[in-house]
Each structure stands twice: as structure tokens, then as C-alpha cells.
Amino acid sequence: MHFDLLIKGGDVIDPGGHHQGRLDVAIKRNRIAAVEANIPSAAANRVIDATGQIVTPGLVDLHTHVYHSVTCWGIHADPVAARSGVTTWLDVGSAGAYNLMGFREFIAKPANARLYALLNISSIGLTASTWELANLNHCDVDLCTRLIELNRDLVLGVKVRIDVNTTSGTGVEPLRRGQEAAKRTGLPMMVHIGKGPPELDEVLPYLRPGDILTHCFTGQSMRIVDPKGQLFDGVRTAWENGVVMDIGHGAGSFSFETAEALLTHGYKPDVISSDIHQFSIHGPLFDLPTCMSKFLALGMSLTDVVAAATVNPAGVLGMQQEIGTLRPGALADVALFRIERGNFTFYDVHMNERKGKELLRNTLTIVNGRELPHLSDPPPAPWIEPTDFQRELAERGLTPAAMVAKN
């Protein structure tokens, strides 16, 4: 067989396709054609030399906000995709029933990266920073269900944010309605937790196998560990019963303290996702590879970290045969990385520091067999006020991947 593209000489890490080691990856049209050792360069129209680099499936980010120019949170996906290796983006709840068609037409359709969505149970979505569940008239189960049925190719589940601000006194009623919409459509529900009320024990009864608890390593009042760092019994039961534990780093959720307590007791997150948005893209999150590097610093293996950002989220979406893997026949989404070694300082959302020795830096992103062009990021939205940390880094002129580095 003659190939269109050959990625040669890299160290492949593909937990979903069970490929590991010095292997070549061949692409024909928009599909992975072969993953083998020593494929001849003459067998391809074009060859990319991946010597000294890590080759993974394109990353699958299970928690993003990319409904730019319409919602408070949205960023442009394509500039970040090209420099981060994220080829599949799940926008979680930026769109509600009233503005989903705008997301399809103006965001998902023209994007180079592959975009899907979870539909917010609130029909207004995340137009504002919060409060979308404060008015139960917006939490229309019939309307949510109808829009999902009309957009099955784009919408893969339901999103409900449960914390003191979003609910503003409505309690878990929006969650009950989100669960009802998910049941009617046969899709999973993602539930955001943070600062209560409501509290965690009120949320857990609504989670079914396959549902996603995002911000699972939060340090706020709805955290899943007790003051001694022990996993709550109700969370353990939910996890064992198939509830997916998703990081969703963001700007207010990821805590090193919570992460260390769980990892110490053998509890690794099912999915490592970014929760990238207007408030997190300039730090301390920056992007998904930086988030993955934090888990390397916490002691997870590179293979486990790659699995948590490729095959695991693909499986949550029921798309593990198509994305998140280099299995021949899968879509030709590939990411190349260099592992920079040095003395790095990583930050959680509370600006607590942890040291690390490795930083994943993306060098190339391929979607559907085509390299993504590098694009400039637009300026922050007018309502974004940089933190002191972000302002200091900007003044130093550091690029996102260098912002965590301290020699």
C-alpha cells in the first residue's frame, strides 16, 4: 500500500490501540493505515521525522468552552488545537437550547478541530458567567430533549453546573431536570461541582453509570475527600458503579492537595481534561499538555496520563473506535510532543506550587490526516481582568508552555 503521510521514528504511546515503542505511523486519506516498525520512507508521499519525539493519538479534551464571541467563557479552539495536540473538543454546556444552532453554524462548522457539545439544561447556556440555573423557567426538559434529538450528530450529552452561584437557591432541581433529559435521550450527563450549597451528598444520588463528575479533584466544599484525605464512601460507590471522574482543571477547580490525597490511595482520575476558557487559558491551566504535565509531576506514568487524555475520554463519548487511538482504520488524528526536562514549577488554581522535572510540549497536531496551521490567539475578551499572576507572566513575555518554567 502507498501512503499519503508517514510519521517515522517516533516513540508511539497509544494505550487505546495497544501500540507502544519505536514505531512508524502511516496515514492514507483521513485514516490511520498502519502502525509498524520500519515502514519504508519510499512508501509515502510525505515523511515527517519524529525522531526523539512522542507520538500519541490526537488528544480528546472532555471539558472545554469554545463558544467564543457569544458566551462569557468561550475561547477560539483552532489556535490552541494547533499548539496543544487536542484534536477533539467537547464544549460542555456553553450552548443551551436557544443558542445551540449558532454553535453549530458559527463555531463547530468552520473549525479545523473536531468539535462536539454537551447541551446545558438551561436554555440560555453560559451567556453570562453564572446564574444560568437560578431561573427554573430556563430549565426546560422538553426543549432540551427536542434540541438534542434534532442534533444527535453534534450533541453527545447534557451538562448541569451545580454550585452556590449557578443554582442561586434552586437547589438540585436543575440536576433532577438534567437527569430527566439525559434519561429521555439515552445520553450521559456531566455534573460540575464546586462550592456549595448544594453539597456533594445531594448530588451523588443523581449520578448514573456513564455520567461524568467533573472538577472531581476540586479543593472547594464539594470535594470528594474528607479532611483526612480519605475518599467519601458515597463517591467510592459511585466510582465503582461506573461514574466517570473527570479533572476539568479550569480556573477554580483543580487542587494539588486533593489530587495528592487521592493518588496516594491509588485513585487516578479516569479523564484528564482542561476546562479551558477565557479565565483559565492564561494560567495557571494554560492548556491540556500543561495539565497532563502536572500529573506527571504527581507521579502518574506517561502511559496512564496519555490514556486519560485519549482513549479514556473517547470511550466516555462512545467513540473509542474512531478517536483517541492510532488503531488502523481510526480517524487520522495524531499529536507529536517533545518531553522537555528541567526544573519546572506547576500551580493549581489556589496558586499552590509543586515541582516537576518534565513538561510536555506539542510540536505538531494532525486532524483527519492534515496538519493544523498555527494561528495567533485573539486578545482576551473585554470582561477579562488578568490576575496578578497572569499579568506578571505577560510582562515577562513568556509563552504558555514556558510560563511554568523556573530554572
- Omega of the bond prior to 313 within 30 degrees of 0, cis? no
Parallel/antiparallel/unpaired status of strands 54-57 and 334-347: antiparallel
What are the two backbone dihedrals, phi and then psi, of residue 266, each rounded to the nearest 5 degrees?
A: 85, 15
- The pLDDT mean for the chain works out to 96
Structural contact between residues 130 and 71, judged by C-beta atoms closer than 8 angstroms: no
Which of residues 390 and 203 earns the better pLDDT score? 203
Q: 168 is written with which cell numbers?
A: 442561586
Neighbours of 4 (CB within 10 A): 17
- Per-residue pLDDT, 10: 98
Strand-strand pairing, 155-161 and 114-120: parallel
Q: Residue 203 has what pLDDT?
A: 98
> Does 356 reside within a domain?
no
Range of the domain at 202: 59-316
Note whether residue 383 is domain-resident.
no
Res 386: pLDDT: 83
Q: How far is CA 246 from the centre of its chain?
A: 9
Those residues with Cβ within 8 angstroms of residue 330's Cβ, 6 or more apart along the chain or in another chain: 17, 31, 32, 57, 321, 322, 323
Please give the tally of structural domains in the chain: 1
Q: Give the pLDDT band (50/70/90) at residue 407.
A: very low
Q: Give pLDDT tens digits for 291-349.
A: 999 999 999 999 999 999 999 999 999 999 999 999 999 999 999 999 999 999 999 99
8 domain residue, yes or no: no
pLDDT at 43: 98
Task: Tell me the C-alpha distance between 122 and 15, whole Å.
Answer: 36
Q: Which three cell numbers stand for residue 191?
A: 455534573
Residue 35 lies in a domain: no
- Residue 388 pLDDT grade (very low, low, confident, very high; cuts 50, 70, 90): confident
Contact 308, 320 (CB under 8 A): no
pLDDT 10s digits, 127-159: 999 999 999 999 999 999 999 999 999 999 999
pLDDT for the residue numbered 1: 86
Q: In this structure, is residue 179 part of a structural domain?
A: yes
Look up the CATH number of the domain holding residue 206.
3.20.20.140
Percentage of the chain exceeding pLDDT 70: 97
The confidence score (pLDDT) of residue 404 equals 59
Q: What is the pLDDT of residue 111?
A: 98
In a 10 Å sphere around its CB, with 0-12 CB exposed, 13-18 middle and 19+ buried, how is residue 121 labelled? Answer: buried
Q: At 175, is the pLDDT very low, low, confident or very high (cuts 50, 70, 90)?
A: very high
Question: Quick check: 403 pLDDT over 70?
Answer: no
In whole angstroms, how far apart are CA 103 and each of 118, 131, 185, 319, 350? 11, 20, 20, 21, 32
